[in-house]
Chains A and B, each alone.
Chain A
Amino acid sequence: MTSLPKLTERRLGLVIDLDTCVGCHACVVACKGWNTQSHGVPLSDQDPYGADPSGTFLNRIHTYEVTPADGPAQVVHFPKSCLHCEDAPCVTVCPTGASFKRAADGIVLVNETDCIGCGLCAWACPYGARELDADEGVMKKCTLCVDRIDNPTLPEEDRIPACVRTCPAGARHFGDLSDPNSAISALVEERGGFDLMPEQGTRPVNKYLPPRPRDTWTEEVDVLAPFLEPVAEDARGFLGWLDRTLSKL
């Protein structure tokens, strides 16, 4: 059913730390790997080894540059995947019922056998979190690794989304954001987690943590500069004569 549940029992989601993300794309690779081989059909690529490669990804890392008024420019890596919105516009536009939000945990999913590939849900998502698989003709999106988090055959430590499990910087956190006592809610509270595009009214479950202010340097900026002073100011002898003659020409 493509109506949204009134209330979800839990709000499972991710908290992404823009301060610690180093932009290594390990989560992109882990996501692609898990979702291309775990269930059903692969997450297809077109011309992957050719001149014009392109493919379906559920998680992509953008990179932005911000220049604070009182400091040097800094680079911010920005992972982006489905935010499992509470007021998910992608769900209500779906004509087939393929898109839905689970009442139990708030995860937004696509039932691929019902999807007609009309693409309307991708248009309705403000974040670009849904991609139509060109081989399969159906919509793909982040599942929050439902086939890991609920999977009793996996060891306990693996029952988290593949991206979170793999992130070497610890920039991705998974948990229940409806529980004020969860570690992830505490993190959002402590670091001032925020919503993307709040004006779009989607009420995303995933939160982002802002980059921390960078250290500032008030002393001499270039500590090596004194050592680079020219040793001899003016050349003597034949070379000096050559230099002076040539610069006169």
Chain B
Amino acid sequence: MHPAPSLIAFTVASGLGFGLLFWLGIDATPPSGWVGLAFYLIAYALALAGLGASTRHLGRPERALKAFTQWRSSWLSREAWAAVAALSVNAFHAAGLVFFDLHLPALGWLGAALALGTVFATSMIYAQLRTVPRWHHWSTPVLFLLYAVTGGALLSGRVEAALVLLTVTGAAQGAVFLHGDRRLARAGTTLSTATGLPGPRAFAPPHTGPNYLTREMAFSVARRHAEKLRLIALALGALLPALLLLLPFHHSLGLVALLSHVAGGITARWLFFAEAEHVMSLYYGKSQRT
């Protein structure tokens, strides 16, 4: 699949923002006053920047509100609702903390659950697609949620939690990289099932140039590049930040750990799209890897 910058920015930034809202929501002694305001501003800036980026992916962004209508059947619509619900509930929680020094734990927990619910709905937009076997797996929501809570833990300065989560996220991401390579074959869709022909070879494409389908869905990344990027994603996303957090704590180290984790997360999300094979591309003679 084409790794669109708007979708990478959307999933990474909103994941971090909602991840931070999760930790602020479940905090027994949440920051209040100015400190609280700063934390919530960061969380909202990230979440809203992510959602804003996602509308840049639309052909008709001015009609975006129509996406709220089909929550009964569509994960994209559910995500829109979850995002609005999470942002509103957390706004009340934040207002209490920031302006009135009032902590309502139940509201915080509800906000945290809605924040995770939003990330889950985002991940299900991808995981529901049978046409992309690499995404059509329970590990997709698990990994999206892990990235969100890990990034949120780093953003909110929770060193112990972040260390554990970095390890778990790194291990899960590594496993998904490897297992993902087998999913297209396991799905059983081949050019043969796509055409009903015995052992066909793609002889001529429909048109001499590229089209929407090839640009959007027939993206492929060379194996040797993908392998390097996978190592970079794991090193920056999990290994380096974990090592930095093991050193005696200092805020600047925490910041570097956070930036490194985000850079690794962006690389991993680029690969999430770039490595995903859409079964449609079989019609164009694309095999699993080049």
Report A's interface with B, CB cutoff 8 A.
1-3, 18, 28, 52-57, 60-68, 75-76, 78, 80, 89, 92-98, 114-120, 122-128, 131-134, 136-139, 194-201, 208, 210-211
Contacts and interface: CB of A to CB of B under 8 A. Distances in A.
A124 B136 CA distance: 11
Contact of A197 (B57, B128, B193, B201): B193
A127 B193 CA distance: 11
B200 interface: yes
A36 B274 CA distance: 33
Contact of B217 (A68, A75, A128, A136): A128
Nearest to A67: B199
B59 A197 contact: no
B193 A118 contact: no
Given A2-B74, A94-B70, 13 more contacts: A56-B212, A57-B211, A62-B205, A63-B205, A89-B130, A95-B70, A96-B77, A122-B212, A128-B280, A131-B213, A133-B59, A137-B59, A139-B59
A170 to B, nearest CB: 20
B73 A128 contact: no
Contact of B73 (A3, A131, A198): A3
Contacts of A211: 197
A76 B196 CA distance: 11
B58 A65 contact: no
Interface string B158-190: 000000000000000000000000000001110
A120 B61 CA distance: 14
A196 B195 contact: yes
Nearest to A47: B209
B80 interface: yes
Main secondary structure, interface of A, reads loop
A64 B195 contact: yes
B101 interface: no
B228 interface: no
Contacts of A199: 187-189, 193
Contacts of B217: 122-123, 128
Interface string B105-143: 000000000000000000001001111100000000000
B71 to A, nearest CB: 8
A117 B70 contact: no
A78 B195 contact: yes
Contacts of B128: 93, 124
B231 interface: no
Interface in B52-92: 57-61, 63-64, 66-70, 72-77, 80
Given A119-B216, A134-B212, A197-B193, A3 B125 contact: no
Contacts of A75: 203
Given A54-B211, A62-B206, A197-B189, A117 B59 contact: yes
B193 A138 contact: no
Nearest to A137: B59
A131 B59 CA distance: 12
Contacts of B191: 64
B130 A116 contact: no
B273 to A, nearest CB: 11
A60 to B, nearest CB: 4
B280 A1 contact: no
Contact of A89 (B58, B63, B131, B209): B131
